[in-house]
Each structure stands twice: as C-alpha cells, then as structure tokens.
Structure 1
C-alpha cells in the first residue's frame, strides 16, 4: 500500500523531526538571519543523503536539498523564520521570554520540520520502490517579510519544478490553505527630506518633512475611493521629527499595498508614488522612494488541492493525549471571545478543543493576508494545505500560536503534515496524469503570461 514505508520512516525519525522543530522554536530568528535553523536543517538533510546547497540563489539562509534524478521534479517549500515581538514561554498565558525579541507566532518552526519529515519519508519509499523522479527541499527564509521566495525566484531556484507543495501550521486540516486565496503585495518606504528651523521663531525658513508625510497620507485617503474594492492600503509613520519646536527635516512612512492581483498592486503603487511626489512639491521637500519588494497572490490549482485533500484524509494522525487537551483548553479559555467566535464559525459545541476532522475548503472572496508562496504558484503548479497544530481559539501571529508551536500539540500536527506531504509526493511520482492535469490547469490560468519577479535586479538581500 502506497505510503506505508514513508510513514514508518517518518515515525522512525520522529525524535529528529521533533528536536529540529523545538530547537528552532527555542532559538527564534528573524528574516534573513535564520542561521541556526538553516544549519540544523542542512545538517539533517545532509545526514539523510540529500545533496545540499546552502545559500542557493544568492540568499545566505536558503537551502536547496536534492534527492533523485529525472522527472517529475517536485519541490517542497519550507520556512523557519520568526516574528518580532512574539516571544513566548511554553505556557497557556501570555509570558514573553525576557531578552528574546522574536517568537514563532506563525509556527514556522513546525513548517520547516514537517517538510523535513515529508522528504525523509518520501525518499525512503522512493528508494524501496526504485521510483524515478527528483524531490527538492527548499528552505525558504524571510516569508514573514514576504520576499524570501521572491529573491530565490529571481535566482531561478524554482524554474525547473514540475510541481511544488507547501504546508502551513493551522487550526484546521484543509487544502488549499485560505481557500486558495491571498493578496498580492508591495511594500515601500517614503523618505521625505526638508529643512529645519525654529518652529516658533522662524517657521517660514523651515520645510517640514512631516507635513509631506501627512499630506501624502491625506492623498492616500482620497485615493481609496478610486481603486477597486479588493485593494488594501495600510501604513505607519516610522519617523516624524525630534521635538515640537523644531521643524522636522526628516520624516518617513512605511506602506503595504495589497490586492487580489499583481496588476492591481502595481497600478496602485504607481499612483501612490505620484501622491508622494505631489506631497513633496507642495511642501518644497524632497522624497526618496525605497521599494522593498513584493509578492504575488495565490494561483490555486484545483488538481493539486484535491490531491492534498485526499491525502489529508488518507494519512494517519496521532491521537491527542489528556495533556494535549488540557493545554489546548487552557489556551482557548485564555481568549474567550476569540474562542467563542471559532466555535460559532465551525458550528461546534462549547468544550471543543481541536478541529480533528478534515475540512472541506470554504470559498472566500477576500484575500486577507499575503504569502510569497504565491510567487512559486505563478512559476509552476503548486498548492498548500494546513494541519491542526494549535487549539481552535488561536489566532494567527499570536502568543497562543507561539505556545502551541512549542508544545506536543504542534509536534503531532507536524508529523501528520509530514505524512501527508510524503503521500502527495508518492502519488505524483506514480501517477503521471496528476502532473499532466495540474500543468494543463496551470497553463490555462496563466493564459500565456509569464512570472515577473517583483524583486528587481539591483535589490540586495537584506
């Protein structure tokens, strides 16, 4: 039966998968600084017989680990970066760890480890059955700033793939992730430079950079009326002066632009740049536009999404222990309003701790967040799925998620995800029609368009 050897290999490597997941959880690193995670993952893959390249596509903490030869070539997308301000002890209450600036509030420690487990299991069954094909573990840094895979894509990392598979920890077992919908995004900083003066004594000699920032923000509010309804624009002021009695000569704002298509994002970005230049003209200041990069929206592939959903139903899951249920319930009760909303959303009775059943994907019209997985999905057929790695009352990017990511709850969801990934890979390797159908669907969706990397040739890895 397909998958049995892979499942056994994953179970045999459970201690290694768990150790990697929890070591990364205990040593959270920010975007493009995932040096420990990269080293631990590369060592594990090297020891398992993969051909490992660290620093692939010119990104120092990126990994390309390859096994096998020929087609199909299947890429597995791993991540291991953490989020700022979300350090958390292994506790069912908010307890930041002193001196730790980052935390795994998105569970990427589990994501990287699950993908490791998936390729270890898949490799074992490929060897036993002498299956042709190539599998590649891609360690992708800096997903949280939405540019890691984009830099890798610029370097051609994903060009030779027939299919790619992504996983993310969640509170449901479902494929595709987010109903296959996400927003394209651009991020940009606007730096205005003016001239200082005494704000009370001779304000006429000053040229306020802060005035320019504020006028740009006002212009942005008027722009909102004249964009499509899917466009989202959000910003913060990162620099606004030093004292009220000094006309600020420097001020900056930081913008995100999101929309359901890359084209809408690019159009809105150009219009924002015009607003910034107009604000500079009105205030007799200068503006420097610092484009930070962007990513594509999801391009769902229903052929692969159905395959992932079938594999979620087939792959075995470990049962929750009394300790898991107790910890999960405490996490839920710590945020009662969020927990109640989750129960209502899924039509579940009070006292439900985890969503155990495989869910039918819910269609959604909104994009919500963004992910650089969308870039890979515009290069080759690709889908994503989630497994239950946290209590039902958890929210994304939260201390509750960070706590679950360091608990046995997260580890069990990781092992389930690894077995699901391995089974997906095996079915692609043994059934050519899956690849053919996925490619035909991809070509139809792209309609002759080619992927254009949002990371320009002059941009350097941060």
Structure 2
C-alpha cells in the first residue's frame, strides 16, 4: 500500500531538518561519551526536545544520562528511542588515515556501530512525527526515550522495570548497520551482566604474627594474597570452567572487563579492591542461570583462596525479543517506498583515499552493494539462521528487546557506508572514520528517520494496523516462558551509575580521557 499524504509529509519534514541535525550529529559524534557517562550528549538532546515543545523528564529511571520526552495528550502512544554512547578504544577521527580525534588518547571512545546516527535518526523521526501530527490535527502521543549505556545493555531493562513502557501501543526500534532491512523471527539473546568486587579489609588478614617476633622487617612480613590475586584467579578460573557452563551447541558469548581500581602501589601491602565485570549472552534463560551459578561459585572459592570478601552487583538482565510480523511488514513497505540511502560525491572521494591508504586500488564503486539495496526481512532471517542450530530463535545482543515485551515492536536497519574491499567489519578504523563525515553518515540516519516517522504516522492513521499488531503481540506473549513476562530486574533497582566506568575528566591538566595523555607505556621487553 503506498504511503499516505501525511506519511509523505512526515518524510519531507525529515529532509527539512537535515541541515540542522547534521550539525547536531557532528556534535554528538565529537563528544563520543561512553556508557553511563554521556553527560554532554544528553544535555544537547534535552535542550533540543524542549525547544521543539516536548515535555522532558531528565534522569528518568534514576539514570542521570537518560530522559523521557513526550508530546501529545491522546491517541495511539508510539515509542522510539535515542542512543548516544560510544565504544572505549575506538577513537578514530573523520580522516583518511588512522589517528584519534585531535587532543585525545588513541584508546578514548569512538563510534563503531554509529549510535551517534541512531540517536539523531530517532530524534529526527520523533520531531517529524510530532510536526506532521500537529499540522494535520491527527491525535497521537509521541514518546522518545534517551537510552544510555547500550554497550552494556544498561538502560532499557531499568526503564522497563520501572514501568516506563507500560502505556506504549507500539515501538519502533532503529539501528544503523551494513544493510537496509528489518528483523523477522530471529531477534536478540538474553544479555546479563554483573560486577564482582573483591575486597581485602583486614590489616593482617592471615593473622600470622610469627615473623614480627623475629624482627624480619615490615616488608618481609606475610601478607594476604589480596584483591589483585583474586581478580587474576577469577579470570583464570572462569576460563577453566567456561566449557562446563553451557551445552556445546548454539551461539553465545561470555566476556570480561576489568573496572578501574585505585591499587597503584609497589608497597608490600595487600591490594584492597578489584572489580571485574562479566557479561554473557545466550538464547535461553536456563543457560543464563547456569552461567550465573558457576560465576558465583567461582567467586566464592576465589575469595576463600585469596582471603578476600566478594560481592556481586547487577549491571543488567535483559530478555530475548518478541517479533511482530504485522508491524514489520508495514515498516518494511515504507522503507521500500523510500528506497535505500545513496552515497555519492565527496564521500566516494573520501572512500577512495581510504582505499589508497589501506593498500587497495581505488574503485569507482567503493561501497558494499548491500548498503545501497534493500533486503527483505524474510531473507535476512534466512541469512541469520544459516549459522544457527534449528532450535535457536535469537542471537547477538541488544537491549531493545525489553520494549518488545510491553508493546508490538519492530526492529529495522538502514545502511551506513562500508568499504567493499574491507567487507562487513564494524570495528575497522576506516569504516568508523566515515561515521564522522556528514556526506557518509547523514543519508543513513535521514532514511532511518523517514522510516520511523512514516511508520509512526501510519500507526496513528490506520487503527486496523495497530489492532492486528496488538493481537499478534498478545498471542506471542501468551505462548512465552512465564519467567520472561515481567522485567528481570526489580522495580526498585538502582542503575549501576556509581561504578568506575571510564569517562572524560576535567583537571588542571585539561580535558582528557581517563587513560594517560601520553602514548608511552614503558619499554618493550
């Protein structure tokens, strides 16, 4: 069914917004703030939404870098969301050679999968929906959520637990990617993450005063192994037990990250505190619980060996996704009418220079063909299933899945440029460099915003679509595991904003990343 005049008007409004929001995107890209620390980014969003006439709750769900913006008093309640967190370690400038953004450490954050464009696409979609409804007099209520810390699947499980999604009638989930499509049946895994903290609280934890009487000196006294040994043993013990955590079939991961700790000393004292984050994703809640049980068991025994105390602090617990064919079909029809984004002119010259610097012969058509074509949701589903066992219904991880348990939800993608000679490499510096080039990234988020706005308007104009999508949603929930019907975090859960997440700091030395500003780390050995 062709788009209605109001849908087309919403799409035109996105085009009108592009010059302004191109600058907005470039600013968010330049901030490149990582999980739970997106302070400047969220301020920019909140101010722009208030200028547009949205009511904005700052710090929604007790998360300082989250927000909940609403416009409209009645009609279908349509949800969409912005993300704006960057990835530590990928500080690539918008340049044709590998280098960090000016003045920053090479391991500061940067945008790998373009959350900067994701957020601006959703912002443009929300504004265009609001303006189209306002002009036409149609009744609808637009919700735009600011969702921080997606790289640790952080905020959506919190918003869900605290009831923010309960009133929604439909949700549109968007992400830049390497092709233009939507998900059909295969969604994303459960993703759980927790931080284990090892502390050594006693002055003489072993309780062995023997050598004091022998006058051996303080630096020769027996000491507790302490928190650093605990961290090392936790890593190694988990690697030893990894193959016993889950059945040897399927697709899932278990990752660890060491959080910053103030233990820099060469004295003969037991290190007091270390913290390690484990994040694991799998398609079944039973597997998630099995991994959790083994991690806790490992931590308990490691604490005993190292004479430390251990605690566990949840970061997140998400559910898998519920697909919705009715909503997906409608959105993909709109995307098909709009067409794939195009990348021409200056961005081709930029890509050719990247090719030269990578040792490739420059090409007339430097981008993956999938970036400028459409792939049906069914074909995407088939491609994903190729590498999965027949029983597995989800893979990867993204916390958008939390929305899908509260309202019919569609998940779609528009393409950003990827160099054909590099292939689908989300983390390669050359592909990431184009995220900061307006001619490369603007067509991606613009098409995403047009798809969001045209679909949101359709949901307002077409009660039958919403009715059909809701009936499918209710049926899928009725067949789901009862353990997944409610959020897996408690309603009184406090987001882990107090943990030592990496961030930018302002000191007398200036504005810098928490890593040293020098690239010198000592001599090679």
Tell me the TM-score normalised to structure 1 length.
0.86
Q: Deviations over 1:81-129 (max 9, x none)?
A: 2222222221122110244332222212211111111122222332343
Identify which of 435, 448, 453 aligns with 1:405: 435
Match of 1:414 in 2: 445
Whole-angstrom distance in 2 between the partners of 1:46 and 1:72: 21
Whole-angstrom distance in 1 between the partners of 2:218 and 2:399: 45
Maintained 8 Å contact 2:200/2:308: yes
Structure 1 residue 415: deviation in Å?
0.8
Q: Which moved more, 1:49-58 or 1:151-160?
A: 49-58
Q: 1:220-239 residue pairs with structure 2 within 5 A?
A: 220=238, 221-228=240-247, 229=249, 230-236=251-257
Q: Which moved more, 1:328-337 or 1:392-401?
A: 328-337
Identify which of 408, 431, 449 aligns with 1:381: 408
Partner SS for 2:277: strand
Maintained 8 Å contact 2:258/2:275: yes
Structure 1 residue 300: deviation in Å?
2.5
Q: Deviations over 1:330-357 (max 9, x none)?
A: 44666689x9xxxxxxxxx985445211
Q: 1:255-274 residue pairs with structure 2 within 5 A?
A: 255-274=278-297
Whole-angstrom distance in 2 between the partners of 1:95 and 1:454: 40
* Cα RMSD for the two superposed structures: 3.3
Match of 2:329 in 1: 306
Q: Deviations over 1:423-458 (max 9, x none)?
A: 111222222232223223323333363222436625
Maintained 8 Å contact 1:86/1:103: yes
Q: 1:29-428 residue pairs with structure 2 within 5 A?
A: 29-100=33-104, 101-176=108-183, 179-193=186-200, 195=205, 206-220=224-238, 221-228=240-247, 229=249, 230-236=251-257, 250-316=273-339, 319-331=342-354, 351-354=366-369, 355-360=371-376, 361=380, 362-364=383-385, 365=388, 369-392=396-419, 393=423, 395-407=425-437, 408-428=439-459
Q: 1:4 to 1:253 in 2, by over 3 A?
A: closer
Structure 1 residue 217: deviation in Å?
4.0
Larger radius of gyration: 2
Q: Which moved more, 1:163-172 or 1:21-30?
A: 21-30
5+ residue gaps, structure 1: 340-348
Aligned residues: 451
Match of 1:429 in 2: 460
Q: 1:302 to 1:201 in 2, by over 3 A?
A: same
Match of 1:14 in 2: 18
Q: Deviations over 1:392-448 (max 9, x none)?
A: 435224433432221111111111111111111122222223222322332333336
Maintained 8 Å contact 2:200/2:307: no
Whole-angstrom distance in 1 between the partners of 2:184 and 2:116: 18
Q: 1:215 to 1:164 in 2, by over 3 A?
A: same
Tell me the TM-score normalised to structure 2 length.
0.76
Structure 1 residue 277: deviation in Å?
0.9
Whole-angstrom distance in 1 between the partners of 2:278 and 2:265: 22
Partner SS for 1:180: coil
Q: Deviations over 1:279-298 (max 9, x none)?
A: 32344442222332232333
Structure 1 residue 237: deviation in Å?
5.2
Partner SS for 2:384: coil
